[in-house]
């Protein structure tokens, strides 16, 4: 089970610039990332949330993933070939971190959102098919002219920090301007992600109740239950109820 689903619907609503305007700014961003991976020797993924495309740039660290140098384009905002190499537990926790980060940014004025990023240490399979810790960072490179989040960046590189006593992925949200940071394991920005009724229904789902039984217990129609179930999947960005329960438990929502 892949815990990374998608945020396409939310992301699509974030950008409202014309295609021509986006094309010009995207070209600048591509040139910037090409130079960046040469300097930092990392792997970078530039995701265009408006067009549902990603540009994957490989510096020297690309050898960790058996990547060739240069960059490739994929028709997705998710780098699934890299996700396959990440430990499933760490991939799930990274998904929770990204959900918290996205909801945290939505509490900030648009002009402040680009000042923040995430940082975590995750286990990934190297070219020898062995797990080792690598550094993962993410941030948003550009807003649209209306202030919506548009270009997202994920960075992968070697981790030079001690990981012997590491607890989880040690995910944190960092203000790159001031250096201030905080661990993102309490998921306070996701606390109100689900309504009281949605939490109630999801809790019943976690206890094995089906929609018909939930409708009877709560004295509501089965159509209302199914509508709530769909809203839950969309808000948690997951594909099914099993993933929804796991994600909600990870976020301490139920």
pLDDT of residue 165: 64
pLDDT of residue 62: 94
Query: Residues 177, 64: contact at Cβ < 8 Å?
Result: no
Confidence of residue 162 (pLDDT cuts 50, 70, 90): low
pLDDT of residue 87: 96
Residue 192 has pLDDT above 70, yes or no: yes
Residue 66 has pLDDT above 70, yes or no: yes
pLDDT of residue 146: 78
pLDDT tens for 2-56 read: 334 444 444 444 455 567 777 888 999 999 999 999 999 999 999 998 888 999 9
CATH 3.30.450.20-classified regions of the chain = 8-188
- 191-250 is a CATH 3.30.565.10 domain: no
pLDDT of residue 8: 41
Dihedral angle sign, alpha carbons of residues 3, 73, 37, 132: positive
pLDDT of residue 3: 39
pLDDT of residue 10: 47
> How far apart are alpha carbons 76 and 71 in whole angstroms?
15
Dihedral angle sign, alpha carbons of residues 21, 22, 24, 29: positive
pLDDT of residue 163: 57
pLDDT of residue 135: 97
pLDDT of residue 101: 96
pLDDT of residue 117: 97
Task: Name the burial class of residue 226, with classes exposed (0-12), middle (13-18) and buried (19+) by CB atoms within 10 angstroms of its CB.
Answer: middle
Query: Residues 70, 160: contact at Cβ < 8 Å?
Result: no
pLDDT of residue 156: 97
Average pLDDT over residues 142-159: 89
pLDDT of residue 11: 44
pLDDT tens for 216-240 read: 999 999 999 999 999 999 899 888 9
pLDDT of residue 124: 96
The CATH class, in words, for 8-188 is: alpha beta
Q: Quote the mean pLDDT of the chain.
A: 89
pTM: 0.84
pLDDT of residue 148: 83
Average pLDDT over residues 107-136: 94
Query: Residues 50, 39: contact at Cβ < 8 Å?
Result: no
pLDDT of residue 183: 94
CATH 1.10.10.10-classified regions of the chain = 191-250
């Amino acid at each position: 089970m892949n815990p990374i689903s998608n945020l396409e619907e939310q992301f699509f609503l974030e950008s409202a610039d014309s295609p021509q305007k986006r094309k010009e700014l995207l070209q600048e961003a591509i040139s910037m990332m090409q130079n960046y991976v040469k300097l930092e020797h990392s792997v970078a993924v530039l995701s265009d949330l408006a067009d549902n495309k990603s540009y994957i740039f490989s510096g020297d660290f690309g050898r960790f993933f058996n990547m060739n140098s240069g960059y490739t384009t994929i028709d997705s905002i998710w780098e699934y070939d890299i996700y396959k190499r990440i430990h499933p537990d760490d991939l799930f926790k990274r998904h929770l971190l990204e959900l918290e980060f996205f909801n945290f940014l939505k509490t900030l004025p648009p002009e402040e959102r680009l000042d923040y990023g995430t940082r975590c240490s995750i286990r990934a399979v190297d070219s020898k098919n062995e797990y080792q810790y690598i550094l993962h960072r993410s941030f948003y490179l550009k807003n649209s002219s209306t202030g919506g989040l548009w270009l997202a960046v994920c960075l992968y590189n070697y981790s030079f920090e001690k990981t012997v006593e590491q607890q989880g992925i040690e995910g944190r949200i960092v203000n790159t301007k001031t250096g201030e940071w905080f661990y993102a394991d309490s998921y306070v920005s996701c606390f109100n992600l689900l309504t009281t009724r949605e939490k109630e229904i999801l809790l019943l789902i976690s206890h094995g109740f089906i929609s018909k039984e939930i409708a009877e217990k709560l004295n509501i129609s089965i159509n209302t239950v199914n509508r709530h179930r769909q809203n839950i999947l969309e808000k948690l960005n997951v594909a099914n109820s099993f993933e929804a329960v796991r994600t909600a438990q990870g976020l301490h929502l139920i």
